[in-house]
A and B are shown apart, each in its own frame.
Chain A
Amino acid sequence: MEKIYSNYQEQTGFNKVCPKTINFLLSYSQALYEFEYEDLSFETFLN
């Protein structure tokens, strides 16, 4: 019964996004570079 219940929980809930999504965000953050020039803001991605 306990096992069935935990399976059911697994199907209905979603608690954490996958590590791939987190890794993407961390890489995105590392690559993103914001700078301003004459009241204009620019964003660029550095490799």
Chain B
Amino acid sequence: MKLQIEDSELVRDYISGNEGALEVLINRHNQRITSFIYSKVLDRDITEDIFQDTFIKVIKTLKRGKYSEEGKFLPWVMRISHNLIIDHFRRNKRMPMFEGSDDFNIFSVIGDDKLNAEKQLIKDQIDSDLRVLVEELPDDQKEVLLMRIYKDMSFKEISENTGVSINTALGRMRYALINLRKIIEKNNIVLTS
């Protein structure tokens, strides 16, 4: 006859430092808790997440010595998972989740504005190359270009800041771009990703 150690004894063992007791507890109640969570959320990944969060709370409570022996272990764990299921649905209500189907994937319509790591690296490289090229321009052209492109100032603001007319500022910007193109062509620089 195989004797089964009581949950309460395993909990005591775990609190006193026997990590193996936790493994027995998790494996013993894995099926009951997983089925319970899955029956409510009907999603495997969410079930795994809630199961994991449940036991993280269990572990923290036990390690802090806050677990009271008054109740039984399994009903206590079920109550934690029940509360986490409610939290999950509350969150989802605030932020509804769209589930795609095999025929339609929402990510083919909407995209993330952020560049992926490779494109970000290329963009950073182009930006830094361009900075070097801008440094080659005459000071008056460089000043206007930096104000317009990097500081996003209008030509009116540029003329007020530099003490030249709007037409002069426009002309310097034009020459700055022409000169940048010349430097790029002369040095065979590729500035596209």
**Interface positions of A (Cβ within 8 A of B):** 13-18, 21-22, 24-26, 28-30, 32, 34, 41, 43
Contacts and interface: CB of A to CB of B under 8 A. Distances in A.
| Range for the number of chain B residues in contact with chain A | 20 to 34
B63 A32 contact: yes
A15 B34 contact: yes
Given A17-B30, A21-B51, A29 B19 contact: yes
A22 B23 contact: yes
A14 B47 contact: yes
B90 interface: no
B27 interface: yes
A18, A24, A25, A41: residue with the most chain B Cβ atoms closer than 10 Å: A25
B19 A15 contact: no
Interface in B51-104: 51-52, 55-56, 59-60, 63-64
A43 B60 CA distance: 9
Given A17-B51, A18-B48, A28 B30 contact: no
A25 B48 contact: no
Interface of B: 19, 22-23, 26-27, 30-31, 34-35, 38, 44, 47-48, 51-52, 55-56, 59-60, 63-64
A25 B160 CA distance: 64
B44 A14 contact: yes
A30 B20 CA distance: 10
B73 to A, nearest CB: 15
The binding surface of chain A is classed by DSSP as: mixed
Given A14-B35, A17-B51, A22 B26 contact: yes
Given A32-B60, A32-B63, A22 B19 contact: no
B60 to A, nearest CB: 7
Contacts of B22: 25-26, 29
Contact of A25 (B26, B34, B38, B63): B26
A21 B52 contact: yes
A46 to B, nearest CB: 12
A19 to B, nearest CB: 10
Contacts of A14: 34-35, 38, 44, 47
Nearest to A18: B48
A12 B30 CA distance: 18
